[in-house]
Structures are given as structure tokens and as C-alpha cells.
Amino acid sequence: MNQIDFQDNILMLKVGKSSLIVRLILVPVTLLFFLLPIWGLSLNLADGQGIKFLSVLIFAGYFLLGFYLLRICLWNTFGKEVISFGLNTITYEADYGWFKGNKKEIPLENSVCKIKPSEFENQGKGILVFESDQSEIECVALVPLEKLQVLFTHIQDKIAAIKPEEFQN
């Protein structure tokens, strides 16, 4: 699997798929979080009890947990991080395959790219961190440090290629 794809001004970091056993457990549990509340509400309606406020709260809670688990399933299967370098900004977006996460932007001016090494069981891997005066973007995808060093130099060259005159609108 090619984890890093850097074309033009767009960097894509693909997240490694989790093991098959984890996905085989996570997918049915996620489906249960969506199906059990519907089944419970239909049983309440069939018994003639109607929909009560507590059942709506339980339904909403299960739906939110199911949505969160769906995001985890999709991230562990199709997840990738998309970082684009514009004239004035660095934009980060998490792509879950079926939908995308919120965009984060930091100004390119005075921005710094760093490598943050991972600890404990993921030694030899690290993540990218983009910092500016106002905020920071921390990537999630763990990449081997050797590949990260090569990528780091490409990013530094890309940022250095943008001249200060281009920051003016």
C-alpha cells in the first residue's frame, strides 16, 4: 500500500487498515447501534405504548454512538488525510470515504512543518505537524520516519517556493 501521495499541491496520507478481525467485530456492533433502537421503538408502538420522551432520548443516544462507531469503521477502512497547499493557506481535511470531516486552515505565512515521533508500540513511526502563529494542524496517520523525512523535505521545498509577494491579495 502506498501510504503517501504527493501530487501538485495536494498531499494525501492514507491510514493503514486495521486488522480484519477488528473490522469484523466493529461493523456488526455499529449496525446493532442503529438497528436496536429502531427495533425497540417498533416494539413500543406494537404494544400500543406509543413513543415516550425517554425512548426518544435513548434512540438519539444510540444513534449518536452508532454514528461515532460508523466514523471509526470508515476511518479504519477508507481513511485518508488530505492536505492542500494554497497560495495563502494550508488546508487539512479528514476523508472517511463516505463523507469528509471539517476543514482546518492555517495561514501559510510563518507556518512551520515538524515531525513528531511516535512513542511506545509505534516506535519508528511519526506524524506531521503544521504550526502557525494562530493554530496548528496535527496529522493522525502514522508514517515510517524514513518516509516522513523525505516527505518533510518535499514540504519544506513546497513552502519555500511560495514567495512573500504572493501573500498579498
What does the pLDDT look like over 4-52, one tens digit per residue? 888 888 889 898 888 889 889 999 999 999 899 888 888 888 888 878 8
- pLDDT for position 167: 43
Give the pLDDT band (50/70/90) at residue 162: low
106 Cβ partners below 8 Å, 6+ apart?
A: 89, 90, 130, 131, 132, 134, 135, 136, 137
Which CATH number applies to 4-15+83-167: 3.40.630, 1.10.287, 3.30.70, 2.30.29? 2.30.29
pTM of the model: 0.76
Grouping H, G, I as helix, E, B as strand and the rest as coil, residue 54 is helix
